[in-house]
């Protein structure tokens, strides 16, 4: 690990301690990776790419020391809840459409059969009321 990398890691760890102590000096003090990067004076992408372990450590410390859920996790939970609701709605709509296809297929079969043999009576179960034939 080069000297610049080690310096960044030291600054990130110091920024973690300041944020968790509520003594932010260079950021808004929120418990986000962006605030951690700003507090440490490190580019946000450097935190995400070169120091991902420190970002994860920060999120874990936020979870354990402050009993709060990190912002990214909150946003993901909201997104997951929305997606679950969307899936539920789509499954219900899909079931309705499948039922409609079944009913329409049966109606089409009945109408096709009547058209092919209009003079022969079709045996009808006792729980079905037939449509009246069209009068012309």
Under-70 pLDDT residues of the chain? 1, 116-124, 129-130, 133-136
What integer pLDDT is reported at residue 28 of this predicted model? 87
What integer pLDDT is reported at residue 136 of this predicted model? 60
What integer pLDDT is reported at residue 68 of this predicted model? 80
Short-list 86, 29, 36, 90, CA closest to 60: 36
List Cβ neighbours of 13 (8 Å cut-off, separation of 6 or more): 54
Q: 3-state class of 42 per DSSP?
A: coil
What integer pLDDT is reported at residue 102 of this predicted model? 94
Domains of the chain, by residue range, sit at 3-68, 71-112
What integer pLDDT is reported at residue 117 of this predicted model? 63
Q: How far apart are CA 117 and CA 51, in angstroms?
A: 78
What integer pLDDT is reported at residue 31 of this predicted model? 86
Task: State the distance between the two ends of the chain, measured CA to CA, in whole angstroms.
Answer: 93
∠ Cα 49 50 54 (to 5°): 95
């Amino acid at each position: 690990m080069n000297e610049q990398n080690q310096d960044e890691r030291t600054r990130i760890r110091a920024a973690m301690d300041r944020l968790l102590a509520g003594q932010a000096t260079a950021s808004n003090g929120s418990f986000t990776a962006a605030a951690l990067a700003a507090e440490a004076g490190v580019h946000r992408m450097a935190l995400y790419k070169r120091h991902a372990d420190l970002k994860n450590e920060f999120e874990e410390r936020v979870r354990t020391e402050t009993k709060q859920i990190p912002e990214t996790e909150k946003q993901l939970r909201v997104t997951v809840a929305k997606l679950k609701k969307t899936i539920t709605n789509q499954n219900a709509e899909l079931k309705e459409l499948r039922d409609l296809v079944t009913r329409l297929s049966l109606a089409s079969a009945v109408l096709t059969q009547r058209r092919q043999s209009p003079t022969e009576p079709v045996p009808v179960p006792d729980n079905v009321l037939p449509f009246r034939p069209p009068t012309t």
